[in-house]
Amino acid sequence: MKNNCTMKDMYLEERPYEKCRRFGPENLTDAELLAVILRTGTQGENSLDLARRILHPGSGSSGLLSLHRWSGEQLMRIRGIGRVKSIQILCIAELARRMSRETAAEGLDFSSPSKIARYYMEDMRHLDREVLKVLFLNTRARLIAESNVSSGTVDMAVVSPRELFIEAFQTGAASMILLHNHPSGNPEPSGEDIRVTQRIYEAGAMIGIELLDHIIIGDNCFVSLKERKAFQ
């Protein structure tokens, strides 16, 4: 018995590679696309069956977005996934993230909350902990640096305004924008989010570094505290 079922063992109409060659990748299902990358399955299971099992494990998150949330160690717990295949899958997810970010970067306008949110969405929407990111801008509102200033629990990203402004002075920033994610997927600001934002805004006004916005990233959605007029 063969240890691994390859695409050659599948009926012609079931072979994702042949289907892609004949009809193009846009006509493949998500599982078929993944099967083309994996190339081989496992004992008694072809690559397409393995791909379906990866995308739909039967519990928790399923589908393509689940690939962003798995570590290599988690992937290797799936029967038929070793180190090589886990690295392949991680690289696919990373390529997708970078392609999405490159597309969003075209014409990025730091005065537009929706464009900023779109640019950072794939970086932040899949995180399982709150991360606060600060964007430092020059006098022409161009990005000169960005930094993750805190990584907190699932409840709140804790930030020290002092540390934030020290970094702002070091980069020569004239203004800044805050972003942080809500792992729950709901971007609605908490009372603490608004209080921290107001405190940072007031401190920046005193020292000449304006807080332009605080954007909260959810699951493919966002809230701009500037648009909400939550600080002034």
- DSSP-derived secondary structure letter, 28: S
For the chain, what percent of residues have pLDDT higher than 90?
A: 40
- DSSP-derived secondary structure letter, 40: B
Q: Is 83 left (phi over 0), alpha (psi -120 to 50) or beta?
A: alpha
pLDDT in tens, 15-51: 888 889 889 999 999 999 999 988 888 888 889 999 9
Is the pLDDT higher at 24 or at 104? 24
Q: Is pLDDT above 60 for 12?
A: no
Q: Which residues pair with 40 in a beta bridge?
A: 6
pLDDT in tens, 74-95: 889 888 899 999 999 999 888 8
Classify each residue of 10-45 as buried b or exposed e, where b means 16 or more C-beta atoms within 10 Å of its C-beta: beeeebbbebbeeeeeeebeebbbbbbebebbbeeb
Q: What is the mean pLDDT of the chain?
A: 84
Look at the alpha carbons of 138, 142, 146, 152 in this order and tell me if their dihedral is positive or negative.
positive
pLDDT in tens, 115-156: 899 889 988 988 888 899 999 999 888 888 888 887 665 444
Q: Residue 1: which pLDDT band, with cuts at 50, 70 and 90?
A: very low
Q: Residue 13: which pLDDT band, with cuts at 50, 70 and 90?
A: very low
On whether the pTM is more than 0.75, the answer is no
CATH 3.40.140.10 segments of the chain: 107-224
Provide φ and ψ at 105, rounded to 5°. Answer: -70, -20
DSSP alpha helices (H): ranges in the chain? Answer: 16-23, 30-38, 47-55, 66-69, 72-75, 83-105, 113-124, 161-171, 191-207
pLDDT of residue 154: 46
Closest CA to 91 of 63, 70, 61: 70
Q: State the fold for domain 107-224.
A: Cytidine Deaminase; domain 2 (3.40.140)
Cα separation, 142 vs 155, whole angstroms: 31
Q: Residue 14: which pLDDT band, with cuts at 50, 70 and 90?
A: low
Give me 212's structure tokens: 């332009």
Give me 11's structure tokens: 């009926």
Q: Measured between alpha carbons, how far is residue 42 from residues 12, 51, 207 in Å?
A: 19, 11, 62
Is the pLDDT higher at 8 or at 186? 186
Provide φ and ψ at 121, rounded to 5°. Answer: -55, -50
Which whole number is the average pLDDT over 196-201? Answer: 92
pLDDT of residue 194: 92
Q: Measured between alpha carbons, how far is residue 172 from residues 55, 137, 205, 225 in Å?
A: 46, 9, 16, 24
pLDDT of residue 107: 59
pLDDT of residue 104: 62
pLDDT in tens, 50-75: 998 888 876 555 677 778 778 888 88
